[in-house]
Amino acid sequence: MEGHAPVSPAGPLGRVGRHLMLWCEVAAVAGALVFTALVGMSIVSITGRKLWSAPVPGDVELLQMCSAFAASAFFAYCHLNRGDVKVDFFTERLPDRWVHGLDAAGSLLVGLFGALIAWRTAAGALMVGAAGETSMILGVPLWIGQALMVPGFVLLALAGLYMAAWHWRRVMAEGRP
């Protein structure tokens, strides 16, 4: 169907979109590397626990803090590539301008949600930091794990707002929905 192809970095993204895509790719690769390291640490910890009763100290704490960062690092890349879960059963026969209009509204909501989550995560990290809370085994300040999620959510907000504008330009180019 015309107009429903995924966005690619070399395709219809503009100069700003390509720069945003680069930052989203960097974040996604960082998230993948963290997840890979966590898998390695988990294997070492489980093996050490089973064979020598010597797990990696604080493995669960590290897993919780680092996986939160890693997961938040993927959202923007996914949205910028239009990889979100999308139920297009009701829209598959609509004209492209209507689909772009709905996608613009959805992307705007993603952008606003990303901004809200970034703001509240940053506020939470500041509060936890002010309280001086640390993890039980390693004594790592808990605000660090929360603060590491903020850049991913900021990128999600930017990706959502960029894609909302991208779709809206297509709506305007084709006429009113």
Range of the domain at 32: 15-174
**Residue 58 domain flag:** yes
Q: Is 3 left (phi over 0), alpha (psi -120 to 50) or beta?
A: left
Q: Which residues contact 50 (CB under 8 A, 6 or more apart)?
A: none
| Calpha distance 4→9 (Å, rounded) | 16
Q: How confident is the model at residue 27 (pLDDT cuts 50, 70, 90)?
A: very high
For 147-164, b/e burial (b = at least 16 CB within 10 A) is: bbbbbbbbbbbbbbbbbb
CA dihedral 60, 153, 126, 35 (to 10 degrees): 20
**Residue 8 domain flag:** no
**Residue 136 domain flag:** yes
Percent of the chain past pLDDT 90, that is, above it, reads 81
Q: Is the pLDDT of residue 9 over 50?
A: no
**Residue 36 domain flag:** yes
**Residue 9 domain flag:** no
DSSP 5: S
**Residue 31 domain flag:** yes
Average pLDDT of span 98-115: 95
Q: Is the pLDDT of residue 7 over 80?
A: no
Report helix, strand or coil for 72.
helix
Q: Is the pLDDT of residue 98 over 70?
A: yes
Mean pLDDT of the chain: 90
Better-scored residue on pLDDT, 65 or 177: 65
What pLDDT, on a 0 to 100 scale, did the predictor assign at position 39? 97
Dump the DSSP string for 9-61: TTTT--HHHHHHHHHHHHHHHHHHHHHHHHHHHHHHHHHHHHHHS-PPTTHHH
Report the number of distinct structural domains present in the chain: 1
What pLDDT, on a 0 to 100 scale, did the predictor assign at position 12? 67
CA dihedral 121, 124, 125, 131 (to 10 degrees): -170
| Calpha distance 55→42 (Å, rounded) | 9
**Residue 2 domain flag:** no
For 48-72, the pLDDT digits (tens) are 999 999 999 999 999 999 999 999 9
What pLDDT, on a 0 to 100 scale, did the predictor assign at position 1? 40
**Residue 3 domain flag:** no
For 111-169, the pLDDT digits (tens) are 999 999 999 999 999 999 999 999 999 999 999 999 999 999 999 999 999 999 999 99
Percent of the chain past pLDDT 70, that is, above it, reads 92
